[in-house]
């Protein structure tokens, strides 16, 4: 089968509301390149209105609002889903551990009247698939609905699941992406996991993409990138990250029939410590002195679940010319490594 193509994307990020604002700030930062951790001027009920948003947390609000932007870009009054029926569109959302909502529910169980007088409005938000369900309900997406939680590899795991849905005939098109929040609860949990100070400041955001089969893309949409390969591996200690990721890259290049000379750049993960150094050495082992694209991670910081999605956006926005191949790499503290090969169109 032909490789699927990414045909549209939208975002709410610390760099701006919408794809155009994000890329403009990424290419020509107005504040020295430091965006700050949060999506500025984002209040769920102000962005989405008061109807149906009372129970939404920030994660669900970011995901619903970004999906709305994507559907507005691809849809028309006659065809909201860009030529597809609602049941032909799948939704795959990568997210994190729901730090704020879970913490609020647990806090109630300790601080409110006994026995366990918790606020029932917190209960739906503690479910991992709450944000994906809100996206489907709000926008009428009736195809398969999936949530994936995988730390910094989430964006690549979500892309891989989306393309498998289409390859196996479960959907004709897939709205997919990842979302992350910044909150005191997340900062506290991540600080407890680290031996020292964080390598980059925590941040948040959401990116949603449209994945289609190349033969079904209508003339009004231009493919942005072809998904040639997505591969994953595991590591048991820091010393094995280099070999695990190098093996991932070689498998992906073999599957995609791509050589090192075809690759114009790599968008690495946000890691800057020992894990980041091992990731960079793996890239050098396989691709030699290929340029690294780090403008997003330098400006935004550690976006956790949505970090790989931001890396893909930067890669697709690079001025490399059609036909060139870019690589996204990732590694996380939970033992995953991964890569994706995208051919720009």
| β-pair partners for 205 | 180
Q: Which CATH architecture has domain 5-216?
A: 3-Layer(aba) Sandwich (3.40)
Report pLDDT for 99.
Answer: 67
pLDDT surpasses 80 at 322: yes
Structure token digits, residue 320 = 């490399």
**pLDDT per residue over 259-295, tens digit each?**
999 999 999 998 778 889 999 999 999 999 999 999 9
Report pLDDT for 1.
Answer: 59
Report pLDDT for 33.
Answer: 47
Q: Is the pTM of this model over 0.75?
A: yes
Cis before residue 179, ω within 30 degrees of 0? no
**75 exposed, middle or buried (CB, 10 Å; 0-12, 13-18, 19+)?**
middle
Q: Which of 205, 311, 213, 198 is nearest to 265 (CA)?
A: 311
Domain 226-344 belongs in CATH node 3.30.930.10: no
What is the distance between the alpha carbons of residues 134 and 191, in angstroms, rounded to a whole number? 30
Which residues, at least 6 apart from 261, have a Cβ–Cβ distance to it below 8 Å? Answer: none
**184 exposed, middle or buried (CB, 10 Å; 0-12, 13-18, 19+)?**
exposed
The residues of the chain that CATH labels 3.40.47.10 are 5-216, 226-344
**How would residue 34 be classed by pLDDT, with cut points 50, 70 and 90?**
low
Return the half-sphere exposure (C-beta side, CA atoms, 13 A cut-off) of residue 271.
24
**How would residue 9 be classed by pLDDT, with cut points 50, 70 and 90?**
very high
pLDDT surpasses 70 at 115: no
Contacts within 8 Å (CB) and 24+ apart, 190-195: 193/333
């Amino acid at each position: 089968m032909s490789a699927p193509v990414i045909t549209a994307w939208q975002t709410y990020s610390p760099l701006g509301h919408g794809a155009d604002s994000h890329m403009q700030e990424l290419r020509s930062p107005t504040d020295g390149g430091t965006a700050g951790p949060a999506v500025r001027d984002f209040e769920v009920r102000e962005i989405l209105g008061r109807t149906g948003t009372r129970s939404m947390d920030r994660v669900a609000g970011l995901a619903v609002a970004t999906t709305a932007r994507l559907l507005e870009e691809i849809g028309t009054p006659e065809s909201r889903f860009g030529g597809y029926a609602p049941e032909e569109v799948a939704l795959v959302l990568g997210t994190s551990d729901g730090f704020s909502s879970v913490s609020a529910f647990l806090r109630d169980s300790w601080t409110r009247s006994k026995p366990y007088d918790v606020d029932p409005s917190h209960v739906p938000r503690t479910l991992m698939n709450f944000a994906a369900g809100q996206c489907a309900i709000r926008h009428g997406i009736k195809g398969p609905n999936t949530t994936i939680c995988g730390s910094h590899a989430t964006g690549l795991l979500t892309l891989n699941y989306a393309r498998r849905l289409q390859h196996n005939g479960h959907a004709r098109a897939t709205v997919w992406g990842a979302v992350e929040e910044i909150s005191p609860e997340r900062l506290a949990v991540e600080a407890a996991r680290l031996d020292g100070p964080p390598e980059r400041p925590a941040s948040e955001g959401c990116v949603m993409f449209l994945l289609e089969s190349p033969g079904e893309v209508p003339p009004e949409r231009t493919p942005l990138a072809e998904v040639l390969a997505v591969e994953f591996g595991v590591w048991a200690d820091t010393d094995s990250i280099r070999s695990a990721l190098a093996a991932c890259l070689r498998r992906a290049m073999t599957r995609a029939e791509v050589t090192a000379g075809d690759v114009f750049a790599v968008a690495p993960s946000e890691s800057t410590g020992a894990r980041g150094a091992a990731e960079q050495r793996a890239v050098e082992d396989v691709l030699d002195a290929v340029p690294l694209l780090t403008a997003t991670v330098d400006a935004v910081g550690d976006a956790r679940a949505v970090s790989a999605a931001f890396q893909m956006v930067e890669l697709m926005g690079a001025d490399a010319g059609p036909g060139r191949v870019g690589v996204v790499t990732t590694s996380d503290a939970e033992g995953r490594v991964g890569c994706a090969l995208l051919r720009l169109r």
